[in-house]
Amino acid sequence: MRARLEAALARAAEVERELADPATAKDPNKLKALGREHARLERIRKTADRQDKLEDELEQARELARDTDAALAELAQADVDRLEPELTGLAEALEDLLIPPDPLDDRDTIVEIRAGTGGDEASLFAGDLLRMYTRYTERQGWKLEMMEFSEGNVGGVREAVFKVAGDHAFGRLRYESGVHRVQRVPATEAQGRIHTSAATVAVLPEAEDVDVSIGDKDLKVDVFRSSGPGGQSVNTTDSAVRITHVPTGVVVQCQDQKSQLQNKVRAMEVLRARLLDRMIAEQEAERSRERRAMVGTGDRSAKIRTYNFPQNRVTDHRINLTLHRLEGILDGELDALVDELRASSRSERAGV
């Protein structure tokens, strides 16, 4: 670990020099990337400095604990008892920080929720998931921006696409990709039978211009009239936009913004994110690495979590974790799940 720490501190000094270079200020993408790296390395430096300081204090306390003055030795031993577990925690935190990070973790993210099997009940559950992520976003102090929304027949959500901007938004939400299953008695069920429905969640890293190159000739852009509730532009102007990426066949449409230009900008954001996600999957396939359901980019075809209402239970099948606080989780209290999934991811990357 010492070698990795020295390499990280050396890189921190190098990043600071690059940030001070006037040429860096002229390159927004480089400036943004270096800023993110600097923030990560600064956490390592501060943790290492704190560890060094406490190690010095512990050494002094251990020496004083052997003093012939009983009162002084007792006070020093109390410091030893306090410092040892704190240092253990710092060592574990530093080890986690030194694991090579996924360069996408600190990106903003685009989340897509779609009702799956289960008819109207599936759309109601998709609505529950949208509220869960909205509340989680609020708890994290992030910003959520709705990009596309389609309501189900009886309320809920048929499809929702939204952007989440904030510190490590993708790094914390990426584990939500997959099939979410709910087991409960629908409001329309007269005989009280438990039904199983599902919704799919896709969490995509926001793509930057340097990630995905899209030529104008690769795009087919169609405009049409928006539909549904909204302002004066809805149903009166051709403000909705549908973009087809011809080489891959990926289709994105957006109609929730007021103008055609705004809808095109939002649709391009989603398109770049989907193409980046596709590129990552293809690269991993070429390296003969499966898209792991437990951690990593997340296999959206796999059932990842079950929400069982009768038993007040949420089970994440990737790490075999069951929590009996369904109401809190649906209210956005996701940290317990996210932290355990991130810990599993770190263990895999560290080769544990």
Domain 109-207+290-350, what fold? Alpha-Beta Plaits (3.30.70)
CA 129 – CA 341 distance, rounded (Å): 18
What pLDDT does 294 receive?
Answer: 33
* Banded pLDDT at 184 (limits 50, 70, 90): very high
Banded model confidence at residue 299, pLDDT cuts 50, 70, 90: very low
Q: Are strands 109-115 and 195-205 parallel, antiparallel or unpaired?
A: antiparallel
Encode pLDDT of 189-232 as tens digits.
Answer: 667 788 899 999 999 998 876 678 888 899 999 988 776 544 44
Average pLDDT, the chain: 86
Strand pairing report for 178-184 and 303-308: parallel
Report pLDDT for 230.
47
The span from the CA of 314 to the CA of 331, in Å, is 13
**Do 333 and 342 contact (CB within 8 A), yes or no?**
no
Domain spans, the chain: 2-98, 109-207+290-350, 216-286
CA atoms within 13 A on the CB side of 44: 24
Q: CATH topology for 216-286?
A: Double Stranded RNA Binding Domain (3.30.160)
Tell me, what DSSP letter sits at residue 100? P
Q: What pLDDT band is residue 302 in, cutting at 50, 70 and 90?
A: low
How far is it, in rounded angstroms, from Cα 119 to Cα 177?
21
Q: Indicate the pLDDT class of residue 167, thresholds 50, 70 and 90.
A: confident
DSSP of 227-290, one letter per residue?
Answer: -SS-STTTTTS--EEEEEETTTTEEEEE--SSSHHHHHHHHHHHHHHHHHHHHHHHHHHHTT--
- Would you state the structure tokens that stand for residue 128, as one six-digit string? 């529950």
State the pLDDT at residue 32. Answer: 81
Least confident of 91-100, 195-204, 320-329: 91-100
Band of the pLDDT at 290, cuts 50, 70, 90?
A: very low
pLDDT at 2: 83
Give per-residue pLDDT as tens, 37-79.
898 899 999 999 999 999 999 999 999 999 888 999 999 999 9
Give the residue with greater pLDDT, 258 vs 348. 258
pLDDT band for position 233 (cuts 50, 70, 90) = very low
* Range with the largest mean pLDDT of 16-20, 29-33, 187-191: 16-20
Crossing angle (nearest 10°) for helices 28-65 and 70-98 = 160
Instruction: Provide the angle, in degrees to the nearest 10, between the axes of the packed helices 2-20 and 70-98.
Output: 70
What whole-number percentage of the chain has pLDDT above 90? 55
CATH architecture of structural domain 2-98: Up-down Bundle (1.20)
Q: How confident is the model at residue 188 (pLDDT cuts 50, 70, 90)?
A: low
